[in-house]
Amino acid sequence: MAMSSLNRDLFYDQTFNSIFDTDQRIEALLAFEKELAIAQSAIGLIPKSAAQAIENSCQSGFIDIERLTVESALGGNVLIALLKQCTELLQKEESGSYHYIHFGATSQDAIDTAAMIQYKKAAYWINDKLKQLILQLAERAEAHQHTPMIGRTFLQQAKPITFGLKIAGWIDGLIPVYQSMDSLRFPVQLGGAVGNWTGLDAQAYETISASVAQNLQLDQPLKPWHSQRQSIIQIATTLGMLHAHLSKLTTDLILMAQTEIGEISFDDPGKGGSSSMPHKNNPVNGILVLANGIRVPHLVATILECAATDHERALGSWHAEWEVMEDLFKLTAGSMRLVEEMMAHLVVHPDRMLANIKWTNGLVFADVVENAMAMKLGKINAHDLVEKACIESRSTGVSLQTLLAGRPEINTNFTLQDLENWFNVENNLGLSHHFTGLVLKRVKDVFGG
């Protein structure tokens, strides 16, 4: 319900949110009623004049919204109250046509179909943004294919990777979600009071159903789905998966933006700064993505719970869906906008990435060095040697490379160039470049270009 409007530009995207505006919802409900009437008139079930009257008279601009809101409480949903106003409008215009609005349909037919009209718009909006994000990330990944940074596991420095690889990982998570979003189905609902549509033969029903679906650009389901919410939970879980990946990439960025890490920052004048604390650069957009990300899994769970309906129309779990789906869409769309802004203002600091790799005075290369030395010295000798040097390095702050360079076993068996090679970051990136390339190729395969 109406959150304080003050949060509008924090968690959300204003343009996206308008898809769910009250007038858009009424438009979508009336679109269902109009298309139903048109399809029914096309096969002679209702007069063409009635369909025409419904199209002309039942316009969202004519609806008294305050009255609609108040009267919604009587029927437990908006539809009965809306039909009441439509009927009055039709009675003004043309005698008789009011009999033919919502003919044979039930409230849930209109409400579910209208929701699908809105959900489809919303999903397309998000997926368009997602495509742009993936393409933008791909550019960044390509640009940073050779930018070394430290890989971290459990927030401890582990071994070097590239920033390109990190970004490629994000993309790798997002592509299947893009494909899932892209293959979502948005079925029309057309079942009548108990989902078995009465008063028509099968052929007439199928003709009407196909026509309504086509004209609303929705999918035609196998049968009415009042109590089978597969399409809804499919949408909800897909949004949940999307946000998980958005939260993941945001978490990485914010950890990299820590004052003491400083590997990235956001060049976003006027945002996140503090006049009194000049060192402050709060990652505002990212913070808000994480905030949204906390809420989303719980909303997905709510929708999954709602799907365990009872009989032919669910006792509350249908109603709970409405706002939760809307929240789910709005928070995800808001996060898409926030991530987009984050990426637009992202400044990468390769120097700090490199400096952080060197933070441990070479200890992050210890295993590589040990393995290299083992070839000539044997595994056990190599291990002893490295272990001792590591301990010395930690207590003295002298780099591991320098310490090893001073050991006779090393000088006897290896050259200083060997040492130089082992401790060269470039030689310690494994298949970072290869994996990044695979992901970039996949982006091209999926999106062309």
- Stretch of 46-54, 133-141, 267-275, 404-412 lying at the interface with its own copies (CB under 8 A): 267-275
Tokens of 127: 């997926």
CA quadruple 145, 150, 151, 152: dihedral positive or negative?
Answer: negative
Terminal alpha carbon distance of the chain = 43
Burial class (CB in 10 A: 0-12, 13-18, 19+), 159: middle
**Nearest distance from C-beta of residue 7 to its own copies, angstroms:** 6
**Nearest distance from C-beta of residue 429 to its own copies, angstroms:** 6
Q: Is 131 helix (H, G, I), strand (E, B) or coil?
A: helix
Q: Which of 30, 245, 377, 423 binds its own copies (CB under 8 A)?
A: 245
Is 307 near its own copies (CB under 8 A)? yes
Is 34 near its own copies (CB under 8 A)? no
Cβ–Cβ < 8 Å for 208, 36: yes
Is 74 near its own copies (CB under 8 A)? yes
**Nearest distance from C-beta of residue 372 to its own copies, angstroms:** 10
Tokens of 323: 């706002």
Q: Which of 132, 228, 381, 399 binds its own copies (CB under 8 A)?
A: 228
Beta-bridge partners for 148: 162
In angstroms, rounded to a whole number, what is the distance separating the alpha carbons of residues 147 and 230? 44
- Stretch of 212-220, 308-316, 343-351, 404-412 lying at the interface with its own copies (CB under 8 A): 308-316
**Nearest distance from C-beta of residue 283 to its own copies, angstroms:** 7
364-248-266 Cα angle (round to 5): 80
Is 137 near its own copies (CB under 8 A)? no
**Which residue, 132 or 228, has its beta carbon nearer to its own copies?**
228
- Stretch of 38-46, 133-141, 402-410, 428-436 lying at the interface with its own copies (CB under 8 A): 428-436
Residue with the two structure tokens 């050259």: 415
**Nearest distance from C-beta of residue 329 to its own copies, angstroms:** 10
**Nearest distance from C-beta of residue 421 to its own copies, angstroms:** 14
Q: Where are the beta strands (DSSP E) in 321-376?
A: 346-348
Interface of this chain with its own copies, residues 317 to 336, rule: CB under 8 A? 317-320, 322-324, 326-327, 330-331, 334
Interface of this chain with its own copies, residues 328 to 387, rule: CB under 8 A? 330-331, 334, 356, 359-360, 363-364, 366-368, 370-371, 379, 383, 386-387
Burial class (CB in 10 A: 0-12, 13-18, 19+), 43: middle
Closest CA to 115 of 319, 296, 399: 319
| Number of other residues whose CB lies within 10 A of the CB of residue 153 | 8
**Nearest distance from C-beta of residue 154 to its own copies, angstroms:** 5
Q: Which of 39, 105, 110, 161 binds its own copies (CB under 8 A)?
A: 161
Strand bridging mode 264-266 / 346-348: antiparallel
Tell me the CB-side half-sphere exposure of residue 136, using CA atoms within 13 A: 15
Residues 99-128: x where in contact with its own copies by CB under 8 A, - otherwise, as a string: x-----------------------------
**Nearest distance from C-beta of residue 6 to its own copies, angstroms:** 5
